[in-house]
Structure 1
Amino acid sequence: MPTLIRQLEADDLAAAGELARLAFGSAPSTAPPSTDPRPGITGYGAFDPDGRLVGKAVDLHHEQWWAGRRVSASDVGGVAVLPEARGRGVALALLRELLRGARERGAAISALYPTVTGPYRRAGWEVTGALRAVDLPTVALPRHRPAPGLTVRPGGPADLGATADLYERIARHRCGLLTRRGGVFDRDQPPTALPDGVDGLTLVERDGRLVGYASWQRGRGYDQHAVLTVEEVLASTPEAARELVGVLASWQSVTPTVRLWSLGTDAVATHLPLEQVRQHEQRIWMHRPVDVVRAVRSRGWPAHVRGLVDFALTDEIAPWNSGSWRLEVDGGAAELHRIPDEPPTQLSVRGFALLYTGAADGYAVAEAGLLHCPAGTDPGALDLLGAGPRAELLDYF
């Protein structure tokens, strides 16, 4: 167990970079290590009695959209522990301190992409979704006559602001998607090039207003192994979605496969031959509350949902979340109040994550052993905690 857990400082960044290289298998860098802290990021380090860095974790100061409202998030990345220090509670100690610091700066919720789920489950996160890349045969994509009133054109760096605005219009009424504003997303100057890894940007406009876009990477070759990788494809109207799918279909003579990341249900998905989807890659993600009161108060709730439910919550890693609570939802808002008596319904923090994100209902959470109700009590009453769209992510971090 390390003797010290603290925030990383400029002098620690070289050691942190080397630890990340060893943990994640990246190639050695010939560039001098950066000593400048990045905006919107707080790094935490675990140090042994000799002052050696033996573990690290990064708090990403993201915001997520939850039904029309911005929710402050502590998304976690870059968790790594030296092999000689593994199995000694280093990661758990780091995550405990990260959550404490995230709460102090105002974060409400947290998401992460695990390489292994066990340590994060012990720290209160639970698997609540997956970011999936799928492959489709290009020849199977439908093509239609161009829709009247729409303009389809290639885009450039000057159009990235418009694509960010369209992403926000689509994302804000969903749950879990990053706002892509502030912190690491801020730019000092307007972009002069497309993002790294993006070869092209296809725009669909109506009366000069952007209604759809696709960013893509051409890849190599033009034989049976060639793949067009669509980094993002979003549309705010069915006509725009159909135009974008038609543009992707036009690649069939040189890229027999289209690979894309998409939302589970959106305008684009309704135009894809989903019966021919083959999964290329899946990256599961996990969720937990940082502060349950903020998590409930700061998100949006369906305006037509009203109700209340009492439950007792256990959270060993973030003890400020533990206790007896009453959830009240009314008219698009909700509050979590402490109550004096302990309710018979007992919920773990992992169960809270499953319900809050809409990943499971009360019956499934009870069957998983993360919710305990007395005989004759309906576990479905806790479904109130997950009212609204199921959470999803489009960004990997």
Structure 2
Amino acid sequence: MRPDDWDQWYGTLELAFGGAADTAEERTLWRELTCFDRSIGVWDGDEVIGTAGTLAFRMTVPGGEAVPTAGVTMVGVRPTYRRRGVLREMMRRLLDDVRSWGEPLAVLTASEPAIYGRFGYGAATHSLHATIDTTRVRITVPPGTDASEGAEGVRLRDSKPEDARDACEAVYARRAAARPGMLVRQPGWEKQPLLDPPDKREGASPLQCVLAEADGEVVGYARYAVRADWDLAGPKGAVVLRDLEALTPQAYAALWRFLTEIDLTTRVTTTNRPVDDPLLHLVTDIRRCDIGVRDSLHVRLVDVGAALSARTYRTPVDVVFEVADDFCPWNAGRWRLTGDAKGASCERTDDAPDLALSVRELGTAYLGGVSLASLAGAGLVTEVRPSALEEASSAFGSTVAPWLPHGF
């Protein structure tokens, strides 16, 4: 896709998502982040009828390696051209391109989760959302959070989001290496968390930032807004959390305590936290937190051998997969995976299969957040060799739940 075509191309994408135009601030950033040599448009005469592209990411996988990953994005079809195979042809082209670039994984966030399974994508991460009733819930903090004799504890400091950007990015970079599913920030992406167009605030304040410091070092941050509200009984505002990261349990707890104790507010809302968030163990009453979970990052193995070799495995594994993949037939067939916590290899084999499944289930289980045993319970994985399911399911697990902290 040529840069000169971007405005028309992006306009088609906006139309596909309902027709509401993005703000100038949003359009400027998304144009800057667009990889033109990785984006495609489908034309009918002078009219763009389909848009799609990929972004050159690196994603953390179990074991801590940051693996080249294609982030599929900006996918849309003009409403008058739906149900004509346009989406399928774009998906075909994107995966062929990703394979030619030697990137073993493709990922996306789905506007509708039912769309992309037919192309081999599986929901590999989930996100937790919550509304915490701060009139009834308190945060318990671990020892060392507050200053005491001989220890300084955690100090919180307000900062303008732009001024704190570099410090926050340094914390994020360290956190991204520790959790599967997180994306290593590429140049330009440090601006995305600061995107804050006024007409998208829904009555909330401009973006705010608080830093957590210990021993003179920034060890955590929270970016948030406050939506003021009142009734006859008094203030009932909401703290809207955008993102929060911390390097120590003490900084993490201090930031959450701060958010739940902001004056003139009665709740904290968050829409994207990991499903194993330590917050669940810090709140005094989880029933007052209105917890929910939804799908997040969908993973597609573009090269089964390279993808399974790129991560490590929690326990030793030696298993032969019989993989079905109609959309990317180069993946179909038998693959022997051998590996442990130090490394892995996955090669073609003629040996008898131990487990049979589709590439979609491999993508779902790839980051360790969904077990192969759970998929087998739904009839999506077939155990051919007794005990193979338990062996593989244990090996694929992750110590921490995979999580995508921001969209793309």
TM range (shorter): 0.7 to 0.9
Task: Verify the 8 A CA contact 2:169 2:190 in the aligned structure 1.
Answer: no
Task: Verify the 8 A CA contact 1:289 1:353 in the aligned structure 2.
Answer: yes
Q: What amino acid does structure 2 have at the position aligned with 1:133?
A: H
Whether 1:275 and 2:287 are equivalent positions in the alignment is yes
Match of 2:398 among 377, 388, 393: 388
Alignment match, 1:25: 18
Q: Name the SS for the 2:164 alignment partner.
A: helix
Q: CA distance change for structure 1 residues 246 and 345 in 2, over 3 Å: closer, same or farther?
A: closer
Between the aligned partners of 2:35 and 2:366, the Cα distance in structure 1 is 25
Q: How big is the shift at 1:108?
A: 2.1
Match of 2:107 among 102, 106, 111: 111
Alignment match, 1:203: 211
Q: Deviations over 1:331-379 (max 9, x none)?
A: 4211111113452632201111122122433333234343233485643
Q: How big is the shift at 1:26?
A: 4.4
Alignment of 1:255-266 (within 5 A): 255-260=265-270, 261-266=272-277
Q: Name the SS for the 1:259 alignment partner.
A: strand
Alignment match, 1:326: 336
Q: What amino acid does structure 2 have at the position aligned with 1:174?
A: R
**Aligned CA-pair RMSD:** 3.1
Whether 1:55 and 2:65 are equivalent positions in the alignment is no
Q: How big is the shift at 1:266?
A: 4.2
Match of 2:41 among 41, 45, 50: 45
Q: Name the SS for the 1:92 alignment partner.
A: helix
Between the aligned partners of 2:187 and 2:167, the Cα distance in structure 1 is 19
Q: How big is the shift at 1:388?
A: 2.4
Q: CA distance change for structure 1 residues 51 and 226 in 2, over 3 Å: closer, same or farther?
A: same
Q: CA distance change for structure 1 residues 325 and 354 in 2, over 3 Å: closer, same or farther?
A: same
Q: What amino acid does structure 2 have at the position aligned with 1:14?
A: D
Between the aligned partners of 1:62 and 1:245, the Cα distance in structure 2 is 30
Match of 2:165 among 148, 160, 168: 160
Q: CA distance change for structure 1 residues 254 and 29 in 2, over 3 Å: closer, same or farther?
A: closer
Structure 2 stretches of 5 or more lacking a match?
198-205
Alignment match, 1:124: 120
Alignment match, 1:214: 222
**Count of residues paired in the alignment:** 381
Between the aligned partners of 2:194 and 2:47, the Cα distance in structure 1 is 40
Between the aligned partners of 2:246 and 2:74, the Cα distance in structure 1 is 32
Alignment match, 1:93: 89
Q: Name the SS for the 2:125 alignment partner.
A: strand
Q: What amino acid does structure 2 have at the position aligned with 1:153?
A: R
Between the aligned partners of 2:222 and 2:195, the Cα distance in structure 1 is 13
Q: How big is the shift at 1:176?
A: 0.5
Task: Verify the 8 A CA contact 2:123 2:295 in the aligned structure 1.
Answer: no
- Runs of 4 or more, structure 1, over 6 Å off, are 29-37
Q: CA distance change for structure 1 residues 272 and 262 in 2, over 3 Å: closer, same or farther?
A: farther
Task: Verify the 8 A CA contact 1:141 1:248 in the aligned structure 2.
Answer: no
Q: Name the SS for the 2:300 alignment partner.
A: strand
Whether 1:13 and 2:30 are equivalent positions in the alignment is no
Task: Verify the 8 A CA contact 1:297 1:336 in the aligned structure 2.
Answer: yes
Q: How big is the shift at 1:308?
A: 0.8
Between the aligned partners of 1:351 and 1:335, the Cα distance in structure 2 is 19
Between the aligned partners of 2:46 and 2:350, the Cα distance in structure 1 is 45
Once the two structures are overlaid, the 10-residue window that deviates more, 307-316 or 334-343, is 334-343
Q: Name the SS for the 1:141 alignment partner.
A: coil
Q: CA distance change for structure 1 residues 29 and 299 in 2, over 3 Å: closer, same or farther?
A: closer
Compute the TM-score of the two structures, normalised by the length of structure 2. Answer: 0.83
Q: CA distance change for structure 1 residues 281 and 325 in 2, over 3 Å: closer, same or farther?
A: closer
Between the aligned partners of 1:282 and 1:259, the Cα distance in structure 2 is 15
Once the two structures are overlaid, the 10-residue window that deviates more, 147-156 or 329-338, is 147-156
Between the aligned partners of 1:194 and 1:375, the Cα distance in structure 2 is 51
Alignment match, 2:201: none
Q: CA distance change for structure 1 residues 29 and 111 in 2, over 3 Å: closer, same or farther?
A: closer
Q: Name the SS for the 1:54 alignment partner.
A: strand
Task: Verify the 8 A CA contact 2:14 2:22 in the aligned structure 1.
Answer: no
Once the two structures are overlaid, the 10-residue window that deviates more, 324-333 or 334-343, is 334-343
Task: Verify the 8 A CA contact 1:230 1:259 in the aligned structure 2.
Answer: yes
Q: Name the SS for the 1:334 alignment partner.
A: strand
Between the aligned partners of 2:287 and 2:207, the Cα distance in structure 1 is 28
Alignment match, 2:360: 350
Alignment match, 1:241: 252
Between the aligned partners of 1:250 and 1:78, the Cα distance in structure 2 is 38
Structure 1 stretches of 5 or more lacking a match?
1-7
Q: Name the SS for the 2:41 alignment partner.
A: strand
Task: Verify the 8 A CA contact 2:60 2:184 in the aligned structure 1.
Answer: yes
